[in-house]
Chains A and B, each alone.
Chain A
Amino acid sequence: MKRAIALIVLLVFFLALPLFIDSRFWLGFWTTTLFFALLGQSWNILGGYGGQVSFGHAVFFGTGAYVSAVLQVRYGLDAWTSGALALAAGALVGAFIGALSFRYGLRGSYFALVTLAFAEVFRVLVNAWDFTGSGFGMLVPMKPGVANLQFADRSWFYYAILALVALAYAITWRVERSRFGAYLVAVRENEDAARALGINAFRIKLAAITLSGAMAAAAGVFYIQYYLFIDSHVGYGPAMSVNALLAPLIGGAGTVLGPLIGAVALGALAELSSALLGKEPGVNLLAFGVLLLVILRFLPNGLMGLWPRGSS
């Protein structure tokens, strides 16, 4: 009950937020924060609940962004259909990578490295292929309108990402309370024991990576509509993979709200560090790296670990 009230208060806060923001800067800040919260949640499903640490989550994000961009630019499809197909593509890539790596029993850091390698393969491919814009990237023409999922009023983008985040978090919440979620956590805690109890670990992990892939692709679809541009480094580069895992690890992996809290903390830290140390490149990431080490050392459950158990 307490938790439901907290969630409603949180939702009302985010819904009302644009009413109190009159600067474009802060609207952009909250929009990107929610974007990272969405990307982080997709990582969290696989890495937080399932314990399958991915170092190449950009592979799903980039697929979402690229499929959506290619369908709109090369085939003239509308943004809604492209977006839906991009989600399916993200799920498919997830299922493909999952089927291969889980089928051959990759665990722990081996799984992490193979996801990274897959992301790099995709990066090289889209960078070399003219169809995907090669080194120049893909530019989606600007045509504001709801049918094109582009909004002249920037606060609409905020509401769009808020809706996606709310949906993703609702799904995660459902997963956490479902039998599937319990199996997933069991696989994370002790895969061999889970299998001994009759859980089909392969299928559970496959389902998790598929869901995770679709969710990260949703973040990619939002990205392409918001920035109207994607290239191989943004789409499939290691930076996006790192972004995907930072928020949940800092907020608290394996909790519903962890990625959101992590994304807010990271956003605040980025602003703080550029205010204190200047806007030189690298300052933000430097602060993120230090925060990651501090969290891993002292708060292995992330910022959510500060909450007393039971009330969350």
Chain B
Amino acid sequence: MLHIINFAHGSILMLALYAGFFLFTLGGVDPYLAVLVLAPAFFAGGYLLQRYVIAPIGFGKDTNVLLVTLGLSIIIDNLALYLWTSNTRTIDVKYAQVFVDVGVTAVALPRLVALAAAVLIGVLFWLLMTRTDAGKAIRAVSKERQGARIVGINVEHIFAVSFGLGCAVVAIAACLLLPTFYVTPQVGNAFVLIAFTTVVLGGMGSFIGALLGGLFLGVVEAYSGLLLGESLGQIGIFVIFILVLLFRPTGLFGARAA
């Protein structure tokens, strides 16, 4: 939303997956319940990170911010590698094996929950952005930083809040992923470019765009995997990413230029 391009997003996802993993194995907390703990915790962590690490070092220059978050992701990834080794970990929950018949095919229950939650979060965010003062402030800051400051909005605070919100959503995503996915220190890397692509494709700052972009990418990934084979299939996403950046940097749905 605020054009903070966060390279550490994948690493934060990885951290959240580990947090969920350890809550489950050590504390016996179900991943879906862990949302209640992890989302606020990651909001707070993200808030502090943006306010006291990224903003002071980035000096507001976007390539600097990119470099800072790159440094952060290097630190987080390798700390995880150091502490938890590169072993792949999974958790075992009963409902991962439950399949729901949706007419054309059977879908694992956790994936269905994830889909429902994604739509729900999309709607909640849209309401937050359009109906609340905080959302108004975020939109104001993203449009006109100096103007927002003049009318009394605490710009640094708003930046940190939106960064924290991003981290909280990542934590929720991690809890949704955990039942059907695995955890390694490198797991986040696969998601970074996909996340960027989704957002760029949908148009920065557009929630409907991000949702549709995500759907479109999923279809592209499935089809390019089907047509080009397993190893070449990943290329689809990167090619789309390059094409969108080159020819339609405002995204397919975003009207405003970045």
Contact = CB atoms under 8 A, between A and B. Distances in A.
A222 B68 CA distance: 30
B258 to A, nearest CB: 8
Given A121-B235, A281-B81, A290 B62 contact: no
Contacts of A125: 232, 235
A216 B195 CA distance: 29
Interface string A240-273: 0010010001000000000000000000000000
B60 to A, nearest CB: 12
Interface residues of B, number: 45
Contacts, number: 119
Nearest to B63: A53
A249 B67 contact: yes
B159 to A, nearest CB: 16
B125 interface: no
Contacts of B82: 280-283, 286
A293 B57 contact: yes
A31 B62 CA distance: 35
B231 A124 contact: yes
Interface in A95-110: 100-101, 104, 106, 108-110
Interface string B51-64: 00100110100111
Nearest to B79: A286
Given A125-B235, A293-B75, A112 B64 contact: no
Nearest to A280: B82
Nearest to B235: A124
A124 B75 contact: no
Given A282-B79, A290-B75, A114 B62 contact: no
A2 interface: no
A93 to B, nearest CB: 14
Contacts of A300: 59
B interface secondary structure, majority? helix
Contact of A297 (B56, B189, B229): B56
Interface stretch (B23-31, B112-120, B215-223, B243-251): B243-251
A252 to B, nearest CB: 14
Contacts of A296: 57, 64, 67-68, 71
Contacts of B235: 121, 124-125, 128
A109 B71 contact: no
B68 A293 contact: yes
Interface in B1-24: 5
Given A112-B66, A114-B241, A282-B185, 4 more contacts: A53-B67, A110-B245, A282-B78, A289-B78
In the A-B complex, list the 10 residue pairs whose CB atoms are closest, starting with the nearest: A289-B74, A282-B81, A282-B78, A289-B75, A292-B71, A286-B78, A128-B232, A128-B231, A285-B78, A282-B82
26 contacts: A53-B63, A53-B66, A53-B67, A104-B246, A104-B249, A106-B245, A106-B246, A106-B249, A108-B62, A113-B5, A117-B242, A120-B234, A121-B235, A121-B238, A124-B234, A124-B235, A128-B235, A281-B81, A282-B80, A282-B81, A283-B82, A286-B74, A286-B82, A290-B75, A293-B72, A300-B59
